[in-house]
Amino acid sequence: MFDLPRRTVLIGAAVAPIAACNTNPGELTASPTTTAPGEVLAATADIPVGSGKVVGDTVITQLKPGVFQGFVARCTHAGCKLPAVTDGTLNCPCHGSQFALDGAVLRGPAATPLAPVAVKVQGADVVAG
């Protein structure tokens, strides 16, 4: 059996939870994919007022009728992909951060709002750009 100094055991116990934060395979800190300007992201009819939709690495929201916003669908805390809009919020599956439809942080550990992505309405679609 090994005799480890008490200090080594305590340091290991303190570092283990930090290392465990990055165990969500394929979801952390991946670079968002880019979309070409004018690329169709979603039909406006698919994004209800007071909700949103994640399309690839972009989340499109419609807080008010006819006003669409785009954000990078990655948590600003550790880069985890935000999977969907649920009950009017985006919830990070990794550490529990929560974002409003306007990208604002509702609950940490994230401290920075979601990064905006330029989107516009073109006909009946929301497009990049």
Q: 82 with 74: CB under 8 angstroms?
A: yes
Banded model confidence at residue 73, pLDDT cuts 50, 70, 90: very high
Q: 74 with 58: CB under 8 angstroms?
A: no
pLDDT tens column, 77-89? 999 999 999 999 9
**55 sits in which H/E element:** strand 51-55
What was the pLDDT predicted at 94?
95
What was the pLDDT predicted at 86?
94
> Would you kindly state where each structural domain of the chain is located, as residue ranges?
28-128
pLDDT tens column, 87-118? 999 999 999 999 999 999 999 999 999 999 99
What was the pLDDT predicted at 32?
52
What was the pLDDT predicted at 3?
62
Position of tokens 């999977």? Answer: 83
Q: Which of 28, 48, 43 is nearest to 119 (CA)?
A: 43
Banded model confidence at residue 4, pLDDT cuts 50, 70, 90: low
Give this prediction's pTM: 0.74
pLDDT tens column, 19-52? 444 444 334 444 456 678 888 999 999 999 999 9
Domain at 28-128, CATH from 2.102.10.10, 3.10.20.30, 3.40.630.30, 3.40.50.720: 2.102.10.10
